[in-house]
Amino acid sequence: MIVTVLGLGYVGLTTAAGLAELGHYVVGVDIDNDKIEMLNRGDVPIWEPELAPLIAKNRQAQRLAFTTDVQKAASQSDVILVAVGTPAGPDGKPDLTQLERAVSDLTSCLPSDALLIIKSTVPVGTTDQIATRLRRDVVHNPEFLRQGSAVHDFFHPDRIVIGCGSEWAAERIRRLYQGITAPMIVSDRRSAEMIKYTANAFLAMKISYINMIADLCESLDANVEDVARGIGADHRIGHAFLQAGAGYGGSCFPKDTHALLYLGAQTGCSLPLVESADRINQLRPQRLVTKAEHALGTLRGKHISLLGLTYKPQTDDVRSAPSIAVSRLLLEQGANVHAYDPRARRFPIEQVEICPDVETAVHDADAVMILTEWDEFRHLDWRRLLPILRCPVIIDGRNLYRLEEMRKLGVAYPLRYLSVGRPEVN
């Protein structure tokens, strides 16, 4: 089939490359001219494992091309997928400006027999409205890929959700994803939109639940990792998303929980579980900064080194990452903040000094704070690093090290190790 993908961010670019690999002829469209120029030069504007070679392979096979010309691309397509951003507005209400522009750009050039698919996460009812406006069936096909393993997730999804109004549309989408083995869940459009928000809010709740329990573990001298292992072994609970830490971030969980709360408020339906998950998460950065205060007294004039700025490992994305809130709080308290991350793109706070490597970031530090569980941080040689710190304080916001390991290290080197939901090592 000939496919157009509108919006070449983490979702759109991965989807375009994945569909080309499945054998379709795909044109990726974005309004960002620089992005299209980069892609046409053979560069990839985002970093996502396995994505660059997949794009290169399919460009070479002439199954994948990029343009800013939506009219030309869409007018020749059998399927058009919209994967533009739907960021949260200030009150949590999703900002649909990008989607509205994409749909109006498409209005004049949609072939009558083409299938329009909305992949962006949108408030319940949005796809119905687009279908009414365009007077045709429009599918909502939410995306569940995870940044950091987006390519893998494209080819191995847990399920494909199809929210549509006709068997014709469902059939075409089955053809689109032919080659991928996954259960197809067909529903009406509104339920498909609801599935996406409900899934993300559930995962956010799981993270906040274990973080809440972590705080109680600290007060009661228990170890949250043992607790998580103990409850996760129950298959009704499962081990996933039970890692206590700095809290969730990224472009989806915070925005999608806020969108769900907004939808609840609009309809007069309170969502106290989601509200609590959000509140707990918003307090995580302060909790880590309080640990630093507890260890150092005042933070004024102190040099704090952040290891990890991205909201999770294996991505370059810092959108809504805990590192942003932590940096703000540290700067407010008068600390000097230095940071190192192996992949982060432009960090939004200028006062944070970005360092080229771990050694430079931690040199003369009063405390080191780990905020992202990058593999390279798991294997740091603390015997070499501790002597170059001014104060041997490690605040591990991701519980990267075993307590036993840190206790052993502490025998040879003076050390204070504060992690999340586990006893302090000193």
Residue numbers at the binding site for ligand NAD (CB under 6 A):
6-12, 29-32, 35, 83-86, 98, 101-102, 105, 120-121, 143, 145, 147, 251-252
Q: Which residue lies nearer to ligand NAD by CB, 251 or 281?
A: 251
Question: Where would I find the beta strands (DSSP E) of 69-190?
Answer: 79-82, 115-118, 138-140, 160-163, 184-187
**Token representation of residue 141:** 């096909």
Residue 252 annotated among the catalytic residues of the structure: yes
Least distance from ligand NAD to the Cβ atom of residue 60, Å: 23
Q: What is the rounded distance in angstroms from the CA atom of residue 119 to the CA atom of residue 186? A: 15
As measured in angstroms, the least distance from the Cβ of 161 to ligand NAD is 12
Helix, strand or coil for residue 353? strand
Smallest distance from the beta carbon of 126 to ligand NAD, in angstroms?
11
CA pair distance 166, 299, nearest whole angstrom: 61
Tell me which DSSP letter residue 386 carries. Answer: G
**Separation in Å, CA 294 to CA 136, 189, 213, 290, 297:** 61, 51, 20, 6, 6
Nearest to 31 by CA among 7, 49, 15: 7
Looking at the Cβ atoms of 84 and 367, the one nearer to ligand NAD is 84
> In terms of CB distance, is 35 or 338 closer to ligand NAD?
35
Nearest-CA neighbor of 250 among 301, 194, 200, 180? 200
Which residue, 9 or 18, is less far from ligand NAD as judged by CB?
9
Nearer to ligand NAD, 128 or 215 (CB): 128
To the nearest 10°, the Cα dihedral for 407, 412, 418, 422? 0
Q: Which residues of 338-348 are buried (b: 16+ CB within 10 A; e: fewer)?
A: bbbbbbbeebe
Of the residues 109, 217, 252, 355, which is catalytic? 252
Residue 2, beta-bridge partner list: 25
- CA neighbor of 122 nearest in space, from 100, 107, 104: 100
> Residue 336: phi, psi to the nearest 5?
-95, 130
Minimum CB separation of residue 252 from ligand NAD in Å reads: 5
Min dist. Cβ of residue 129 to ligand NAD (A)? 16
Name the residue with the smallest CB distance to ligand NAD.
9
CA 381 remoteness from chain centre = 29
CB of 10 to ligand NAD, least distance (A): 4
Nearest to 304 by CA among 330, 285, 323: 330
User: Which residue, 13 or 369, is less far from ligand NAD as judged by CB?
Assistant: 13
Q: Which is nearer to ligand NAD, 120 or 305 (CB)?
A: 120
**Closest Cα to residue 21, out of 154, 119, 142, 139?**
154
Residue 51 CB, shortest distance to ligand NAD, in Å, is: 12
Active site residues: 252
